[in-house]
Amino acid sequence: MLNDMIIGMAGSGGDGIVSAGDALISASAREGYYAMLTKSFGSQIRGGESSCRLRVATTPVLNPGGTLDVAVVLNWEDFLRFGGELPVGPDTVVLYEKKTGIEPAAIPLEVKPAIVLAVPMSELAMKSAGTLQAKNNVVLGLLAGWFGLAREAILEGIRRKFSKKGAEILQGNERAYAAGLEYADQHPLARDFRLSPPVARGGKRRVVDGNEICAEAALFAGCKFFGGYPITPATEIMQHLQKDIWKHGGSLLQAEDEIAGIAAVVGASFAGKKAMTATSGPGFSLKSEVIGLASITELPLVCVNVQRGGPSTGLPTKTEQADLFAAVFSAHGDTVRPVLAPIGVRDVFGVTVEAFNIAEQYQTPVIVLSDQEIAQRKDIIDPVDTADFKIVDRVKPTPEELAQGYNRFKFTDSGISPLSHPGMPGGSYLAAGIEHNEHGDPTSSGEMHERMNDKRLNKLNPLKQRRDLFILEGDPSAPLGVISWGGMAGATLEAVRTAQARGLPVKLLIPKLIYPIAEEVYRDFFASLQHCLVVEQSHQGQLYRIIRMWVDVPRGFTSLARSGANPISPDAIVRRIAAMAENTPATPSTTSR
Amino acid sequence: MSSPAITDCGCPPPAAAPLTIKNFRSELKPIWCPGCGDYGVVTALYRALVNIGRPPHEVAFISGIGCSSRIPGYTTAYGFNTVHGRALPVAQGIKMANPDLLVLVAGGDGDGFSIGGGHVPHAIRRNLDLTYIVMDNHIYGLTKGQLSPTTPRGAKTPSSSHGSMEQPVNPLLYVLAYGAGFVAQGIPADMDGLTKMIEAAIRYPGFSFVNIQSPCVTFGDPNDQMKVQKAKMRKLAEMGHDPTNRLHAMDLAQAYGTELYTGIFYQNPNPPPTYDSQIRERQAALQATAPAA
Ligand SMILES: Cc1ncc(C[n+]2csc(CCOP(=O)(O)OP(=O)(O)O)c2C)c(N)n1
Ligand code: SF4
Ligand SMILES: [Mg+2]
């Protein structure tokens, strides 16, 4: 039996492959498994090829994984279009639609899979339900039958989904599911490929994606205003927020463009409310001038950038981590803005709340770098305990401070000055994009500019001591290190654990606070290292380069970086760790190259 | 908020307000060129605010970038001198976040109709209750005299030494076409008229627009200065114009650039619901059905 299984499916839009994936993950959650569901589409909005991959396991899933254990092919052209996203290996079981007319020995794959089965999916659907639309339920039956997946829970899901559509449709789909199960029972596999039963059934686990949980976190953090403009793959954040933000006494603006969106956010923040925007690459580029305005006026805001492939329109439906430079250097002038990145769907909650807290505490725009995969991937997660999070609000001037004559940009030890808002008697000031003195009056004095830059930059220093914004794993004295961030962190974590299990002396650092670079955290991490690998999904290796900008790095400081839409598998990372080990004198098997 | 006797625009009656111009004038000394029309604009605004009677801390005054956009700093309101062209979206965010505030927006012709031109139609159709004042000097003052979107065709400027080849924008027609509920035009030389129309604009419940032909003494057309304007001005009220007649208003607005009509071109007699009032309604309705967790 397997504890971990990866299923990949592809078909054309009408085949219902994606909704089969949704059904499987919901059933898996009810059954007590953990899982991760990623979907991928061709560039057509509707009706083109579509695919999904589900990784289901008895323990929490860290990344979508590499080679498929099970491949479901509704037609070969569509399947092959997803290439590297649905890799088949020698241990894969391939099920495909018999109607494609291809003999099992002649399937168009370069590797020879473990088992290849041509299944009359359409025929089973027609016979049982009288419609090809039931084909995906046949597939669910096959998967439940052959691989021991959530049999009852899938049926329950089918009942829930079709009960409103009348008895006839419901029964047809039930019969299609049964037909799949029966076919699997009658054609047992040569080897046991079944998934082990879940460790603990039930619980309060739920299926959610990164964008939805981002919206929930924003409301939890006290967000009262959202301004934004639709863009893939960030739009769902706005779509979720617009349902409920009003109940929280807030409001939402679908603006005429991204500039207006973030400008309205700056306005709402000036008016005293917690506010956010969310976008992706092209929109992020447009926002940059106003992000700078928020920096100089020291107004809190959260800007989520759900990264997709770039530059320009790039690969709008694929994930990439190539906006780190853009986030770190997001506007002109000598500024630093905190950049945070969640490492997975569940983590989006904590990171979003943290982003609001940091924005409010330090009176600064904060950029959250999510990515397409995290944003649109569905995970089964354990419930988030909101008691784990505190909520931070901006410091406001006291009545005494207002009575003494309010200085909005007063120099303080922390660099943080109490922030008033319209409506507060005695708190009036001029917020301006132009440099100002403590009172807020415009100035062109070089001396004042230097002092204000000091204030704006130094106030962020305490952030670098936030070690809770870093994940550290492994023996602190290990000679090998791996660093990764954001969407790549899961695969890297899995790889490092595998390498450690193989006895390789490797430790791991995952920053969630990406910028400012916490020099001491990296210095401490590097102290024992002879080699260090930075793993990320960008062509240039952007984090690798930014770390080098700020910290002295170990001699063997290398990068494993690939452009978006070219997943880096845990196996590939393990291989690089093993190669570093070979080059490390401390390890016994070493010869130098 | 604690303002007594709220009228339709949220303004208490003047009698309740022992405010004077001093309450609204800040300690910052304006750095406009001597003779710049914008001095008159800020004076008219102080007067209008005195008449309105909301205390300065309940006023948020937002601008973009330009000579004219310096104006919030010369008042005691909560001022926000944003970036070039984005005053309207910032102001809308403020009003949405706190509909109780009196929100004023101001800027130049370039700020409003060139770089920020894309925001104007949306501010109008959204119809938040705010007042937008454009100091239209037909030139880019701050950057020293280049073409603005309202510079007449043929004008020679540092960026058009052979003469402008573009047709200017007509701000009045533009905002009328998009459905603004209140549209007026004034000049600083007519201080009383200007004060009254700014006050009426603020009192109008919804998006209101005041175009002020505010001369630039330094880079502007010498034939477009205060004295010339005062002689050329024709008051709409004296011409028998009915400000509830939108089509007639549009007809008159076509003379922008040739005639100098002042006063209220259009005021919607049946103002539609504002965006901010709808926000309050939606919040109340949804909070009543299911309180936030
Ligand atoms: C993004 C950006 N582009 C250009 C400028 C330079 N700039 C500042 S004000 C201005 C035009 C000012 O003209 P107008 O808005 O008519 O205001 P005025 O100075 O005439 O009152 C320009 C081009 C800027 N500040 N920001
Ligand atoms: S340059 Fe023109 S618009 Fe600017 S302050 Fe001087 S006169 Fe006024
Ligand atoms: Mg101008």
pLDDT band at B18, cuts 50/70/90? confident
User: What is the spatial order of strands in the sheet that A556-561 belongs to?
Assistant: A470-473, A506-511, A480-484, A531-536, A556-561
Please state the domain count of chain B: 1
The predicted pLDDT at position B16 comes to 53
Could you tell me if residue B4 is inside a domain? no
Domain carrying residue B238: 21-289
| Nearest atom within ligand 1 for CA of residue B142 | 19
Question: Which of A224, A242, A246, A435 to probe the B interface (max B CBs under 10 A)?
Answer: A246
Burial zone of B277 (CB within 10 Å; 0-12 exposed, 13-18 middle, 19+ buried): middle
A247 touches B at CB < 8 Å: yes
Of A256, A290, A431, which is closest to B118 when you measure between CB atoms?
A256
The beta-carbon neighbor of B81 closest among A225, A257, A433 is A433
The answer regarding whether domain A468-591 maps to CATH 3.40.50.920 reads yes
Sign of CA dihedral A523, A529, A530, A536: negative
Is B57 within 8 Å of A265 when comparing Cβ atoms?
Answer: no
pLDDT in tens, B37-91: 999 999 999 999 999 999 999 999 999 999 999 999 999 999 999 999 999 999 9
Name the closest-CA residue to atom 6, ligand 2.
B33
According to CATH, the superfamily of the domain at A207-388 is: Thiamin diphosphate (ThDP)-binding fold, Pyr/PP domains (3.40.50.970)
We report the CATH number of the domain holding residue B159 as 3.40.50.970
Residue B1 in domain = no
**pLDDT, mean over chain B:** 94
**DSSP three-state, residue A568:** coil
Return d(Cα A60, Cα B290) in angstroms, integer. Answer: 34
Q: Check if B111 has its Cβ closer than 6 Å to any atom of ligand 1.
A: yes
| CA separation for the pair A56, A64 (Å, rounded) | 9
A222 has a chain B CB within 8 A of its CB: no
Sequence-ordered list of residues with C-beta below 8 angstroms from that of A405, at least 6 positions apart, any chain: none
The model's pTM is 0.95
Yes or no, beta carbons of A433 and B82 under 8 Å apart: yes
Fold match between A4-186 and A207-388?
no
Please tell me if residue A253 touches chain B, with a CB cutoff of 8 Å: yes
Among residues B207, B115, B62, the alpha carbon closest in space to that of A259 is found at: B115
Q: What is the pLDDT of residues B231-274, one digit of tens each?
A: 999 999 999 999 999 999 999 999 999 999 999 999 999 999 99
As a whole number of Å, the end-to-end CA separation of chain A is 42
Q: Report how far residue B182's alpha carbon sits from residue B205's, in angstroms, rounded to the nearest whole number.
A: 9
Split at pLDDT 50, 70, 90, the class of B217 is: very high
Q: What are the residue ranges spanned by the domains of chain A?
A: 4-186, 207-388, 395-465, 468-591
CB atoms within 10 A of CB A432: 24
- Tell if the CB–CB gap between B90 and A424 is shorter than 8 Å: no
Whether B7 is covered by a domain: the verdict is no
In chain A, residues 34-93 whose CB comes closer than 8 Å to chain B: none
Number of other CB atoms surrounding residue A443 within 10 Å = 16
Q: Which residue of B has its CA nearest to A247?
A: B287
Contact residues, chain B, for A430 at CB < 8 Å: 26, 28, 72-73, 79-81
Instruction: Give a yes or no: residue B192 inside a domain.
Output: yes
Tokens of B184: 């007026």
- Residues in chain B with CB shorter than 8 Å from the CB of A264 are 89-90, 92-93, 96
Q: How far apart are CA A366 and CA A387, in angstroms?
A: 23
Q: Which residues line ligand 2 (CB under 6 A)?
A: B 32-33, 36, 38, 67, 137, 141, 216-219
Specify the 3-state DSSP secondary structure of A92: strand
Which amino acid is residue A543, in one-letter code?
L
* CB–CB contact A227 B89 (8 Å): yes
- Is the ipTM above a cut-off of 0.90? yes
pLDDT, averaged per 10 consecutive residues of chain A (593 residues), comes to 95 90 96 94 74 95 93 95 90 96 95 97 97 96 95 94 93 97 96 91 86 98 98 98 98 98 98 98 98 98 98 94 97 97 98 98 98 96 95 97 96 98 97 98 98 98 98 98 97 97 98 98 98 98 98 96 92 96 64 33
Which fold does the domain A4-186 belong to in CATH? Pyruvate-ferredoxin Oxidoreductase; domain 3 (3.40.920)
Ligand that comes closest to the CA of residue B66: 1
- Taking only residues 423 to 482 of chain A, the set having a beta carbon closer than 8 angstroms to any beta carbon of chain B reads 423-434, 441-442
A486/B127 Cα distance (integer angstroms): 41
Using DSSP, state whether A417 is helix, strand or coil: coil
Residue B2, in any domain of the structure: no
* A259 CB within 8 Å of a chain B CB: yes
- In chain B, residues with a C-beta closer than 8 Å to the C-beta of A267 are 62, 80, 89-97
